[in-house]
Structure 1
């Protein structure tokens, strides 16, 4: 009997986190719930002991299928390899250095059975290296009206959306190779979906600041984001995305690329001007007709991109960073109580067609 849910876990150089991740998927499940879930771990030719750890875990616990890739292909293709082996009606991509809080899989199974959506969105917390939990800036969007315009603003990751496998097959939605592989995947699944449900409950803990993570690595590979956004727009074309969606995605794209440009953990200062010019290219290539610049500070940055004014952008960035440093010196954001991660919140549902 096929599973209701397949959890695909791509694995690369995460020895210290892997068992915690795997344990968190099945923690507290009944025998019946276990039978509804399959876990496929994809060893992406990990250079450490992850491959052996997976084999030992499968032998010890059962209920885990392990795929060993002969060469390293990267996160996106590794997810695709797991997806190709999946039998579940739904698929959830869980990164192997993250974890699910207790009760998450049970809550997801219950909602999938009761509402039968194309996509189920879940909330998450950001987990700092010291264990502190923090709400993501986009999480409040889950508490409001479940409109497509609103939901497009959620953090564009694979792991905060559980997707009907048939939807991915029907529209040929897979992950591309390279960094920022979530960009051409996460929002197209929402555009393609006819029925999206929101499980406004924290079902995922996303580790941030881990050494080796893309978001904590200075590299010219961050320039790969431009090609991923080009692919996103090709997919929007194939899906016949309406003008309002394209305008919303365009604003989000420029916002995201500006975050990458301004992040010292990702962008070496010597690369920042060139990356800014890349943003200008994306702005000119993808700006939809009639698009309106957002209000406030974000709109000011958009205007600087439109004008290709790197000197003014650089000065504005320096001013913002000085103000932020002063704010941090006087106020630290409160940590989120772990108890909140398991608190169910009101149901949100929408039909996007």
Structure 2
């Protein structure tokens, strides 16, 4: 049984140096006002006037609650701070550089209340410059509740566990009481990858609904993992190490194959984008990726490799050989 009154939702928003995006964000807040909604905004020690602008906006908007970090802690820690304040039936997320269509939040909460799953996922619109590209949440069924492990699937394609967007989901606050909503603060990027795997493997239920009212900005400089090129970019490697840990702990080879497939796919993507990285980070990318892909038995890796992008299979197999060699050498 879910706790809290129907329609009650807290929206978690981490913010850092976002003054340029605040007019659009606040317009989105105003267009999505509904009874029982509370916006928990955590300013992560911004230096561009964001804190003052948010405080001024909060004086005019009772639903807007602003928290301040004294020093920068990162998005995962900022989200965790807001999650500690949650007092609602549902929790969802918004990134400050994105926006929601008018009525998106009300429609999403209504469907979540009606279905009552532990997590309800939806579609979104990817924004690249002036382009608007609809993105569909990959789901076995829609408008029905199913076991969240059904959203993991076999190697190949995309499934819900690899649709890593907290803002495209509505989550029962009771999951937080089970310790399932906290983000790994040791990951500067890609913390949402193990976060979703943990949710899907925790005996939860899921549903997917039509509500493509969230606009996800993917402009250059947006700070997303796929757009960044700094040291934090490589955090996808320990993030997928945690994913493999979760799959191993499940004891199910289906999940091990899916997790290794995800590791292969994301390694292939970032190696393909290696020229954006300085030479020292490229070396670390190869070395750490080799150790990641060295994990598990050969049958698991071969099953994952069969479904991986064909252009990358030789590269991935080669990295695994290097990684296995390094592990063997270290064990001598």
TM range (shorter): 0.7 to 0.9
How far 1:303 sits from its partner (Å)? 4.1
- C-alpha change, 1:183 and 1:154, in structure 2 (3 Å) is closer
Q: Distance in 1 between matches of 2:214 and 2:28?
A: 10
Q: Distance in 2 between matches of 1:28 and 1:93?
A: 13
2:329 corresponds to? none
User: What does 1:127-146 align with in structure 2 at a 5 Å threshold?
Assistant: 127-129=127-129, 131-136=130-135, 139=136, 141-142=138-139
- C-alpha change, 1:290 and 1:230, in structure 2 (3 Å) is closer
2:28 aligned with 1:24: yes
User: What does 1:197-346 align with in structure 2 at a 5 Å threshold?
Assistant: 197-211=207-221, 213-214=223-224, 215-236=226-247, 240=250, 242-263=252-273, 267-268=277-278, 271-286=281-296, 289-291=299-301, 292-295=303-306, 298-308=309-319
How far 1:52 sits from its partner (Å)? 0.7
How far 1:182 sits from its partner (Å)? 1.4
- C-alpha change, 1:246 and 1:173, in structure 2 (3 Å) is farther
Instruction: Single out whichever of 249-258 and 90-99 deviates more from structure 2.
Output: 249-258
1:122–1:199 contact (8 Å) kept in structure 2:
yes
1:121–1:198 contact (8 Å) kept in structure 2:
yes
Q: Distance in 1 between matches of 2:275 and 2:177?
A: 36
How far 1:194 sits from its partner (Å)? 2.5
2:264–2:305 contact (8 Å) kept in structure 1:
no
Say what the alpha-carbon RMSD is for the aligned residues: 2.8
- C-alpha change, 1:140 and 1:217, in structure 2 (3 Å) is closer
> Deviation string for 1:317-351 (max 9, x for gaps)?
xxxxxxxxxxxxxxxxxxxxxxxxxxxxxxxxxxx
> Deviation string for 1:172-215 (max 9, x for gaps)?
44112222221221222122252201013213111012425143
* Match among 7, 10, 19 for residue 6 of structure 1: 10
The 3-state SS of whatever aligns with 1:285 is coil
How far 1:264 sits from its partner (Å)? 5.5
Q: Distance in 1 between matches of 2:297 and 2:216?
A: 32
How far 1:265 sits from its partner (Å)? 7.9
Q: Distance in 1 between matches of 2:16 and 2:104?
A: 24
Q: Distance in 1 between matches of 2:196 and 2:166?
A: 6
1:243–1:288 contact (8 Å) kept in structure 2:
no
Structure possessing the higher relative contact order (Cα contacts under 8 Å, 6 or more residues apart): 1
The 3-state SS of whatever aligns with 1:9 is strand
The 3-state SS of whatever aligns with 1:45 is coil
- C-alpha change, 1:153 and 1:195, in structure 2 (3 Å) is closer
- C-alpha change, 1:115 and 1:140, in structure 2 (3 Å) is closer
Q: Distance in 2 between matches of 1:82 and 1:278?
A: 33
1:348 corresponds to? none
Gaps of 5+ in 1: 311-353
Q: Distance in 2 between matches of 1:94 and 1:269?
A: 34
The 3-state SS of whatever aligns with 2:102 is coil
> Deviation string for 1:219-241 (max 9, x for gaps)?
12222222222233344455x36
1:260–1:266 contact (8 Å) kept in structure 2:
no
* Match among 154, 173, 187 for residue 165 of structure 1: 173
2:290–2:320 contact (8 Å) kept in structure 1:
no
- C-alpha change, 1:21 and 1:210, in structure 2 (3 Å) is farther
Gaps of 5+ in 2: 154-158, 322-332
Instruction: Single out whichever of 179-188 and 64-73 deviates more from structure 2.
Output: 179-188
* Aligned residue pairs, count: 303
1:98–1:205 contact (8 Å) kept in structure 2:
yes
Q: Distance in 2 between matches of 1:27 and 1:277?
A: 48
1:174 corresponds to? 182
How far 1:157 sits from its partner (Å)? 2.5
